[in-house]
Amino acid sequence: MAAGITSNTSSTSITGTSAASTTDTKSIAGNFTQFLTLLTTQLKNQNPLDPLDTNQFTQQLVQFAGVEQQLKTNSSLDTILTNSKAASASSASGLIGRTITADGAATDLTNGKATWTLTPDRAAARAVITLKASDGTVVATKTTTLKAGAQPFEWDGTGTSGLSAKDGRYTITVDALDTTGTKVAVDTKVSGVVDGVDLSGSEPVLTIGTARVPASSVKTLSAPTS
């Protein structure tokens, strides 16, 4: 079930950008050298009674120098970007096989078990927990209480009808109230073993079964499973 690491798109894009910058730098360097040669030749052969306007040449010289510096800066940025993406890919790939906890509301029901971590900002006297399938259909609703702080919520896959739901991806929502009837905010997190990394986007995305978790949303991780 492990997902493959797909980094071809990013690598191609970076290589193309670097190649273009290198070509542009060589081109401007050639033009700059040619410009200096022409400038020197014209200054040597100018009519003493009608000298050339060196101000114009000076302005062009400054412009060429500015463009050359910008291309060098772009080349440096391309190198930094390439190194950054490579480091990010290496770091994310190292998470395969490790158990992570990340911000999120969707996780997999596997063999009749799905677990979330719920963290209300204070105790809730009444919390209505709704579980939805990937198509948005409400599969189960649970009413409970929540204490302050992080706590696990485990679902055995039993739906409102009493039948067992199929394995797959499910999303949890929590509507909680305190003893005064005031709404209580509840943070949700998901956990699981990383079985793949998708590097095709701007940020590495970890896969846990069918669930996709942005690497930036990871809060905790544990040692690789044996």
- Non-local (6+) Cβ contacts of 107 within 8 A are 114, 115, 116, 169, 170, 172, 190, 191, 192, 208, 211
The verdict on 69 and 31 lying in the same domain is yes
Q: Please work out, in degrees rounded to the nearest 5, the angle formed at the alpha carbon of residue 32 by the alpha carbons of 66 and 14.
A: 65
Whether residue 226 is contained in a domain is answered as no
Angle of helix 54-93 versus helix 8-44 axis, rounded to 10: 160
Give the pLDDT of the chain (226 residues) as one tens digit per residue: 433 333 333 333 334 444 444 555 555 555 666 766 766 776 677 666 666 666 766 676 677 667 667 766 766 666 655 555 556 666 777 788 888 899 999 999 999 999 999 999 999 999 999 999 999 999 999 999 999 999 999 999 999 989 999 999 999 999 999 999 999 999 999 988 888 888 887 788 888 888 888 888 888 877 765 5
Claim to verify: residue 214 and residue 181 sit in the same structural domain = yes
Strand partners, 171: 106, 132
Same domain for 151 and 83: no
- On whether the CB atoms of residues 174 and 129 are closer than 8 A, the answer is yes
Does residue 168 share a domain with residue 103? yes
Please tell me whether residues 118 and 210 are part of one structural domain: yes
Residue with tokens 């596997």: 110
102 & 202 share domain: yes
Domain holding 23, by residue range, is 8-93
Q: Say if residues 126 and 179 touch (Cβ distance below 8 Å).
A: no
User: Given 30, 62, 93, which residue is the final one in a domain?
Assistant: 93
Please count the structural domains in the chain. Answer: 2
Q: What is the pLDDT of residue 182?
A: 97
Q: Name residue 193's beta-bridge partners.
A: 99
Question: Is residue 68 included in any domain, yes or no?
Answer: yes
Q: What is the CA radius of gyration of the chain?
A: 30
Task: Identify whether 53 is part of a domain.
Answer: yes
Residues 28 and 121 in one domain: no
**Would residue 58 count as lying in a domain?**
yes
Is 208:196 a contact under the CB 8 Å cutoff? no
Tokens of 96: 């395969």
Residue 185 within any structural domain of the chain = yes
Q: What is the CATH number of the domain that holds 192?
A: 2.60.40.4070
Query: Are 65 and 115 part of one and the same domain?
Result: no
* Residues 61 and 103 both lie in one domain: no
SS3 72: helix
Model pLDDT, residue 94: 79
**Alpha carbons 73 and 197: distance in angstroms, whole number:** 32
Q: How high is the pLDDT of residue 29?
A: 52
Question: Of how many residues is the chain composed?
Answer: 226
Tokens of 79: 């190198």
- Residue 211: C-alpha distances to residues 56, 60, 71, 107, 140 (Å): 63, 57, 42, 6, 19
Residues 215 and 120 in one domain: yes
Verify that 72 and 143 share a domain, yes or no.
no
* Residue 3 in domain: no
